[in-house]
Chains A and B, each alone.
Chain A
Amino acid sequence: MDLTYTEEEQDFRARLRAWLAKVLPELPARPSPDDWPGRRAYDLGWQRRLYEAGYAGLHWPVDAGGRGATPTQHLIFLEETERAGAPYVGANFVGLLHAGPTIAAEGTAEQRARWLPPVLRGDEVWCQGFSEPGAGSDLASLRTRAVRDGNDYVITGSKIWTSHAEVADWCELLVRTQPVGADVPKHRGISWLAMRMDAPGVTVRPLRTLAGSAEFAEMFLDEVRVPVADRVGAENDGWRVTMVTLSFERGTAFVGEVVACRRTLGELARAAKANGRWDDPVLRRRLGRLYGEFGALWRLTQWNVSEAGRSAGGVPGIGGSVFKLAYSHARQELYDTAAEVLGAASLSLDEEWVPDRLSSLSYTIAAGTSQIQQNIVAERILGLPKGR
């Protein structure tokens, strides 16, 4: 058990810190939340800078265009960028944090060469077309059909809750390549495809979230043609590939946000001190507990990362579900506490933490609901029997 950084890691941190101090003041002003082209340009501009400075794809394997950094260097990167208030992955969340790593782990050499560099350079954005109106938690019941026609799949169906679909170039798409039947259970017969968002037959209709913005969309697919060569993994083996994707999504995708929460807590303490609510021991203790909890969640991240570092291919384990359950709950508690610090001002959307409070309501739903995570923990980690 060790938590001390090596000299190399400390050097890495110092260089990164110096670089951030230089580039962050040069960044343009952040676009407004509804300015989607502006947000895309801003997020990709940041990715481009990272790429040019050698920080893109830090922990990706070298043969996938990455820098082959240790998991710890990646953690340091997330910690320092967040601490300095640098932009987060933003619009290319899917490309950088799960489609990319999935292609790096499961794609062919040609597929890696074709898709990964544009993600790292900040040229192309990906979105995730997994959920469907009839297939949410029960993802494997998805019905979007892909029928083979020569060297193409012809795809018809619809997807929903597709984040950032409007600004994406590519979509990691789950389709059914073999209908469910007596000898084909629903988990079989699924394939993982990369679909161009500008392909004929793709229609995107934005959906407004409870926070008021159009963060996700519905996607209608009407005889869309996707080359068979753009399938990642074997035909009908997409569920296994999906599990790899989801383990990235649940395992390491939230790391930077834990650091951000620690910073928010500091700001809350200062605000509470300034408005006198700090003198309320109930609120003070609530803040103190959260501080301890987020500290422990940061340690849990380090724990999971060193566990993934020991596993083949660096794929995070199902411990990611444990983390996600604890984290999503703590994060909602954080913003409820923020509301207590603000008092009636928490009703104003102009207050800093109020839009974040609204966004945080999705944390126990997106990327697998808390109930589903509890099923996974109970059945796959604890080995409890499946119900009838």
Chain B
Amino acid sequence: MRAVDFQPTEDQQHLRAGVRGLLAGRYGREALRASVDASAEAGAGVDRALWRELGEAGFFALRLPEAEGGVGLGLPEAVLVFEEAGRALVPGPLVATHLAAGVVPGAAAGTAVVTAFDLDGPLVAHLGDADAVLGAAAVPAGEPVRSVDPLTPLHRVAAVGDVSAYRDAGALLTAALQLGSALRTVELAVRYAGEREQFGQPIGAFQAVKHLCARMLVRAEVARTAVYAAAVTGDPGEVAAAKLLADEAAVLGARDCLQVHGGMGFTWEADVHLHLKRAWVRAEQWRTAAQAEELLAGELLGSAGSAGSAG
């Protein structure tokens, strides 16, 4: 008898493995560090060639119907793909360009770079590279500000547009990026804890270190099911929960990863800070913790009248 199977199907697993392979080849650690170095000299810019390659691989057109030249897949596939991008720390307005597929010419193919008014306030990411901004008729002028994340340039603009139509999908895909980063920081921490020795043994044999790592994994695994479930149901409450939990898994995961790395974790050379800074950026995008919690509270009160189904 067929029964609900929440685990990814074989096709979905293949898709994820394929994207992981593509990104490992095209945007591995060396490429990541090269873009960090380049950003120090010329300011961070979107790598147009990479963008087109992502477009060719179907990254942006993934959910566009086949009749419109897309891949015709759904949110469950999209979150698996974005999880991989988050793991690799691919820079650029991935979510906004994906959302713009079929809306802004060139977005689906990756020939256009599209950003969005996805921050709560007058800041916009990647404005300098953008061919279009979701929620605006034209690309507005902006004043550059110094960004905390070397790979996410920020501009201050005079007015922001309305992106509420994209909010749920944007929050969910951003949560998937956070999830990938959270899982990656667990791997980085575990690897370092197995290699680095102090007091004559790997630091991972110390329980204080073990427990940090275990809690990182627990947060990431809870976030993972929340993200996958929200992708399947599309329910706004589940999306808000997914964003809330994935933001936390990514931010706290990077923090704990930094702690496990000791002084090395505080260096520019280690990748840990790149995960943390990007996680901070994403936590401000589409739906903040406060907004997610208020939305959930509203749903809770609404459901309290009925029997409170667990779905």
With both beta carbons as reference points, the residue of chain B lying nearest to A388 in the complex is identified as B201
Contact (Cβ within 8 A) B218 A325 = yes
Q: Which of chain B's residues have a CB closer than 8 A to the CB of A326?
A: 218, 221-222
Q: Which of chain B's residues have a CB closer than 8 A to the CB of A262?
A: 308, 310
For the complex, give the distance between the alpha carbons of A287 and B229 in Å: 21
Interface size on A, residues (CB 8 A): 66
A297 at the B interface (CB under 8 A): yes
B198 at the A interface (CB under 8 A): no
B238 at the A interface (CB under 8 A): yes
For the complex, give the distance between the alpha carbons of A373 and B215 in Å: 10
A212 at the B interface (CB under 8 A): no
A366 at the B interface (CB under 8 A): no
A385 at the B interface (CB under 8 A): yes
Contact (Cβ within 8 A) A385 B7 = no
Q: Which of chain B's residues have a CB closer than 8 A to the CB of A73?
A: 3
Contact (Cβ within 8 A) B214 A83 = no
Q: Which of chain B's residues have a CB closer than 8 A to the CB of A375?
A: 207, 210-211, 214
Q: Which of chain B's residues have a CB closer than 8 A to the CB of A299?
A: 6, 225-226, 228-229
- CB contact list, B34-70 vs A, under 8 A: none
- CB contact list, A109-166 vs B, under 8 A: none
Contact (Cβ within 8 A) A387 B207 = yes
Q: Which of chain A's residues have a CB closer than 8 A to the CB of B104?
A: none
Q: Which of B7, B9, B218, B307 has the most CB of A within 10 A?
A: B218
Q: Which of A262, A326, A378 has the most CB of B within 10 A?
A: A378
B206 at the A interface (CB under 8 A): yes
Q: Which of chain A's residues have a CB closer than 8 A to the CB of B7?
A: 1, 303, 306-307, 310
Q: Which of chain B's residues have a CB closer than 8 A to the CB of A310?
A: 5, 7
Contact of A2 among B6, B213, B215, B225 (CB under 8 A): B6
When each residue 293-310 of chain A gets 1 if its CB lies under 8 Å from chain B and 0 otherwise, what string results?
A: 101111110110011011
Q: Which of chain B's residues have a CB closer than 8 A to the CB of A387?
A: 201, 205-207
Nearest CB of chain A from residue B23's CB, rounded to whole Å = 21
Contact (Cβ within 8 A) B214 A388 = no
A1-B232, A291-B300, A378-B214 as given contacts; A285 in contact with B222, CB under 8 Å: no
Q: Which of chain A's residues have a CB closer than 8 A to the CB of B309?
A: 83
A72-B4, A302-B4, A382-B217 as given contacts; A1 in contact with B241, CB under 8 Å: no
A3-B229, A384-B193, A387-B201 as given contacts; A273 in contact with B210, CB under 8 Å: no
Contact of B233 among A3, A263, A278, A383 (CB under 8 A): A3
- CB contact list, A1-16 vs B, under 8 A: 1-6, 8-9
A381-B217, A387-B207 as given contacts; A296 in contact with B4, CB under 8 Å: no
Contact (Cβ within 8 A) A289 B211 = no
Stretch of A47-55, A264-272, A350-358 that contacts chain B: A264-272
For the complex, give the distance between the alpha carbons of A322 and B207 in Å: 17
Q: Which of chain B's residues have a CB closer than 8 A to the CB of A288?
A: 292-300
Contact (Cβ within 8 A) A378 B307 = no
Contact (Cβ within 8 A) B214 A285 = no
Contact (Cβ within 8 A) A269 B3 = no
Q: Which of chain B's residues have a CB closer than 8 A to the CB of A303?
A: 6-7, 225, 228
Contact (Cβ within 8 A) B241 A295 = yes
Contact (Cβ within 8 A) A385 B194 = yes
Q: Which of B211, B297, B307 has the most CB of A within 10 A?
A: B297
For the complex, give the distance between the alpha carbons of A3 and B238 in Å: 13
A343 at the B interface (CB under 8 A): no
Contact of B301 among A258, A273, A381 (CB under 8 A): A273
For the complex, give the distance between the alpha carbons of A388 and B4 in Å: 44
- CB contact list, A61-113 vs B, under 8 A: 70-73, 79, 83
Q: Which of chain A's residues have a CB closer than 8 A to the CB of B292?
A: 288, 292
Q: Can you sample 14 A-B contacts with CB below 8 Å?
A: A1-B231, A3-B232, A6-B4, A72-B3, A285-B293, A289-B296, A291-B241, A292-B293, A295-B311, A296-B229, A299-B6, A306-B6, A322-B222, A384-B209
- Interface pairs A-B: 4 shortest CB-CB: A292-B241, A288-B297, A288-B296, A378-B210
